[in-house]
Amino acid sequence: MGLLSKKDAALIKDPLADNNPITIQVLGICSALAITAELEAAIVMSVSVLFVLGIGNVVISLMRNIIPSKIRIIVQLIVVAALVIIVDQVLKAFAYELSKTLSVFVGLIITNCIIMGRFEAFALGNGPWRSFLDGIGNSLGYGVILIIVAFFRELLGAGTLLGIKVLGDPIEKTGVYKYGYENNGFMLLAPMALIVVGIIIWVQRTRNKALIED
């Protein structure tokens, strides 16, 4: 990357692989379970978190020298809340159906541990540009896992991708359904999201032994 120095590029690259917020730090699991039954919802969620974390990190970083450390959590919460409300209103205005699917989970971005975690761990101690890159990197790392999980859950659970029937019609019995294939209803239930995340962690740690603890 010519644009970024090596150190800055690592801010984006690390969370995508060896320091992934979901699979390595195991943060933000609740939303990974709740909204990954459909690929579309997962993508919108990822974009929302990208927006909130990118801007939020910059805002916190700019204010880092004037926030009294005793009330910093409250300040952080206000910043996230403000950004989340913007996302929520935009979704309601331009994608009403989708905002209904996501329901409370947009609001619950506030409690997404990744966001508070990055504010605390990074934005409070670094400049705005580096904080911005860190926010983008972590939310991309979050988004990648979300989209992988949602891809498998929607494909195997409902036979669709982004609402398009890629495997054929289960009622008309076209495509693979002609040969007796059936959708796996378990994939649409929350436990299966946890298991898929677990399998991703398994694969990742098998490929990179350095990640295995003790």
Partner 1 sequence: MGLKESLHNFKEKNKDKKWLPAFSAIHTFLYLPNETTHNGTHIKAADDLKRTMNTVIMAMVPCLIFGMFNAGYQHNLQVGDVQAAAGSFFSSEFWTMANFMIGFWKILPLVIVSYGVGLGIEFIFAIIKGHEVEEGYLVTGMLVPLIVPVDIPLWMLAVAVIFGVVIGKEVFGGTGMNILNPALTIRAFLFFAYPTWMSGDKVWVEGAVERTNEIVAGANLDAISGETILGSLAQGKEAGYEVMDMFLGFIPGSVGETSTLLILLGGLFLIFAKIGSWRIMLSSALGAIVMGLIFNQVVDSGWITESSKFYGLMSTTWWHHLLIGGFAFGTVFMATDPVTASQTNKGKWIYGFLVGFISILIRVFNPAYPEGVMLAILLMNVFAPTIDHYVVQGNVKQRMKRLKAKTA
Q: How far is the CB of 76 from partner 1 (least distance, A)?
A: 37
179: DSSP letter: G
Q: How far is the CB of 176 from partner 1 (least distance, A)?
A: 11
Q: Is 164 helix (H, G, I), strand (E, B) or coil?
A: strand
10 Å Cβ neighbour count for 189? 14
Residues 6+ apart with CB under 8 A from 45: 31, 35, 102, 105, 106, 143, 146
By beta-carbon proximity to partner 1, the closer residue of 91 and 193 is 193
By beta-carbon proximity to partner 1, the closer residue of 25 and 184 is 184
By beta-carbon proximity to partner 1, the closer residue of 86 and 189 is 189
Residue 49's nearest CA partner among 98, 118, 95 is 118
Two tokens, residue 13: 């690259």
Q: How far is the CB of 30 from partner 1 (least distance, A)?
A: 21
By beta-carbon proximity to partner 1, the closer residue of 19 and 184 is 184
> What is the rounded CA–CA span in Å between residue 123 and residue 118?
6
By beta-carbon proximity to partner 1, the closer residue of 38 and 134 is 38
Q: How far is the CB of 39 from partner 1 (least distance, A)?
A: 20
Q: How far is the CB of 198 from partner 1 (least distance, A)?
A: 8
Residue 138's nearest CA partner among 155, 111, 113 is 113
> What is the rounded CA–CA span in Å between residue 72 and residue 147?
32
Site for partner 1, rule CB under 8 A: 180-182, 184-187, 189, 195, 198, 202
